[in-house]
């Protein structure tokens, strides 16, 4: 599940569920203790000028090492989640350029960011390959992509459940896919993945709990 709904572009067709229920559901699920612990392992690595994909809700603001971050920007299509993120940043005294938009077409210049961070977001984008190309475009030479995502389980039983449940899950969880590969998506686009770690989240159904984290460089 994503911290936002960067696509299936549900924000283009707002309804009661998209406006009121889904943002609360996603914020609740993405803030669970096991996920928060995973975030605490990846987000503090961000440094320099940072772009966060799926910044809505401001969940990662609790984990940045502000001594390492010189500037923070983000993108999210959900007005409700963006409002929450901006309010949380202001309350913490953090200056952030959080913009409405989609990860497939980032509203930022080329070669701008030292770090691009994506946490529980690639599962819900419409076109993951386009997002990876956009991340490469805005990443400064020598920059780093930090990722923490859930995706396709490596074991047969949970993988079968993911395939069965995904059509319904996408409808209730903001376009979230259960069967997308994570690290492989980066390597298929020519990125070099370093420090990768993968595991099932504790106390979580295995079809929902497979996560992968690490760093990717062009």
Say which CATH number the domain at 50 has: 3.40.50.150
In this prediction, residue 15 has a pLDDT band, given cuts at 50, 70 and 90, of low
Please determine, for residue 13, whether its predicted confidence score (pLDDT) is greater than 80: no
- In a domain? residue 1: no
- In a domain? residue 174: yes
- In a domain? residue 5: no
- In a domain? residue 170: yes
The boundaries of the domain holding residue 135 are 10-191
Check residues 204 and 212 and name the one with the higher pLDDT: 212
Looking at residue 175, what is its pLDDT? 86
Nearest C-alpha neighbor of 91 from the set 66, 53, 58? 58
Q: Give CA–CA dist 78/32, Å, rounded.
A: 21
What average pLDDT does range 198-208 have in this prediction? 92
For the chain, how many structural domains are there in total?
1
pLDDT in tens, 127-155: 999 999 999 999 999 999 999 999 999 99
- In a domain? residue 210: no
- In a domain? residue 152: yes
Please determine, for residue 12, whether its predicted confidence score (pLDDT) is greater than 50: no
Looking at residue 80, what is its pLDDT? 86
Average pLDDT, the chain: 89
- In a domain? residue 214: no
- In a domain? residue 48: yes
């Amino acid at each position: 599940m994503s911290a936002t709904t960067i696509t299936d572009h549900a924000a283009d067709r707002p309804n009661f569920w998209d406006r009121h229920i889904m943002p609360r559901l996603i914020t609740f699920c993405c803030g669970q203790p096991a996920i928060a612990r995973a975030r605490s392992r990846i987000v503090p690595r961000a440094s320099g000028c940072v772009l966060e994909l799926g910044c809505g809700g401001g969940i990662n603001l609790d984990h940045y090492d502000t001594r390492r971050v010189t500037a923070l920007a983000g993108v999210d299509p959900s007005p409700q989640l963006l409002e929450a993120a901006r309010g949380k940043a202001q309350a913490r005294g953090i200056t952030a350029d959080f913009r409405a938009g989609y990860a497939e077409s980032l509203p930022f210049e080329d070669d701008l960011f030292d770090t691009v961070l994506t946490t529980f977001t690639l599962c819900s984008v419409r076109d993951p390959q386009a997002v990876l190309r956009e991340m490469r475009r805005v990443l400064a030479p020598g920059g780093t992509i930090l990722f923490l995502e859930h995706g396709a389980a490596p074991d047969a039983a949970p993988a079968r459940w993911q395939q069965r449940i995904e059509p319904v899950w996408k409808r209730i969880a903001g376009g979230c896919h259960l069967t997308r590969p994570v690290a492989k998506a980066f390597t298929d686009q020519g990125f070099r993945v370093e420090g990768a770690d993968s595991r099932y989240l504790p106390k979580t159904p295995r079809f929902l709990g497979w996560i992968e984290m690490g760093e990717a460089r062009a």
